[in-house]
């Protein structure tokens, strides 16, 4: 079995500008995750905002099976044409794992079609992620819950579509709940949003969190890549009902535009 080609994308700004963040993620969140999920089955690449084309050249995108996405303070700086390419590739089959504040990334909002807004608070409170689907590949090896001593709070209502599967629900010390792990499929691609991971807490050093991410990579691995088409498709059976209409219509090309 060939390796899963993983690309970990990170905004990589806080880690350069803030000493506290740097102390937690000296080589960036992307590198910490890369090290943390490193595995004989994974072929891992990283890419960051300030690289040319954000590190997401056509070649990189085409050679990615599963992409991870972490962003926070610079969602607006991600180029629309690159978001477009990533979006296209997810619909063709690429897996996408969106982490924490990535809920507000252009790519996630575009795939969901909703605002992806939520309540939030940064008080370093306790979070407990309850495992709602212990049978699911994403929770393989995870117990009843994962406890994080200090986290930023995200609370409902989280403006997302009804998920295919609700995998984790978080309890927060301050009184909120949150759908912290949700799966979707869009086009031929599988998507997992996973809440944990603020830049000011060492959450990506937590072995259970890394285990979930690692499981999600395996789960999101594409079965196939397929380009989008909208083909005129000849009849498979004889048609006898045309009546007075025949082919009176206006011809349509594959983009649905009249010819």
Query: Is 66 or 111 the residue whose CB approaches a second copy more closely?
Result: 111
Nearer to a second copy, 30 or 176 (CB): 176
Backbone angles phi, psi at 7, to 5 degrees: -115, 120
Shortest distance in whole angstroms from residue 138 CB to a second copy? 10
* Closer residue to a second copy, CB minimum distance, 31 or 139: 139
Q: How many CA atoms lie within 13 A of 209 on its CB side?
A: 26
Q: Alpha-carbon distance 33 to 102, whole Å?
A: 15
- Indicate the pairing of strand 189-194 with strand 66-70: unpaired
| Nearest partner of 210 among 10, 38, 6, judged by Cα | 38
Contact 82, 69 (CB under 8 A): no
- Pick 52 or 231: Cβ nearer a second copy: 231
Q: Least separation, in Å, of the C-beta of 240 and a second copy? A: 7
Q: How far is the CB of 229 from a second copy (least distance, A)?
A: 7
Cβ(55)–Cβ(9) below 8 Å: yes
Question: Considering beta carbons, is residue 26 or 134 the nearer one to a second copy?
Answer: 134
Q: CB of 7: closest distance to a second copy in angstroms?
A: 19
Q: Give the span between the Cα atoms of 178 and 126, in whole angstroms.
A: 13
């Amino acid at each position: 079995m060939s390796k899963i080609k993983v690309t970990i994308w990170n905004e990589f700004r806080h880690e350069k500008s803030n000493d506290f963040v740097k102390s937690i993620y000296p080589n960036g969140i992307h590198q910490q995750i890369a090290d943390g999920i490193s595995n004989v089955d994974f072929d891992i690449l990283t890419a960051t905002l300030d690289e040319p084309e954000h590190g997401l050249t056509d070649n990189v995108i085409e050679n990615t099976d599963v992409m991870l996405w972490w962003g926070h303070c610079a969602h607006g700086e991600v180029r629309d044409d690159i978001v477009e390419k990533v979006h296209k590739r997810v619909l063709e089959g690429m897996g996408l794992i969106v982490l924490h504040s990535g809920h507000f990334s252009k790519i996630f909002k575009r795939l969901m079609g909703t605002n992806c807004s939520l309540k939030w608070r940064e008080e370093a409170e306790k979070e407990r992620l309850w495992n709602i689907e212990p049978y699911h590949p994403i929770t393989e090896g995870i117990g009843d819950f994962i406890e994080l001593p200090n986290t930023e709070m995200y609370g409902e209502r989280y403006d997302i579509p009804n998920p295919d599967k609700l995998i984790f629900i978080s309890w927060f010390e301050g009184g909120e709940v949150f759908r912290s792990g949700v799966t979707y499929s869009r086009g031929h691609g599988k998507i997992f949003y996973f809440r944990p991971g603020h830049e000011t807490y060492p959450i990506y050093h937590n072995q259970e969190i890394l285990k979930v991410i690692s499981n999600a990579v395996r789960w999101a691995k594409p079965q196939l890549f397929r380009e989008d088409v909208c083909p005129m498709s000849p009849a498979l059976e004889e048609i006898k009902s045309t009546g007075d209409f025949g082919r009176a219509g206006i011809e349509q090309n594959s983009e649905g535009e009249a010819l």
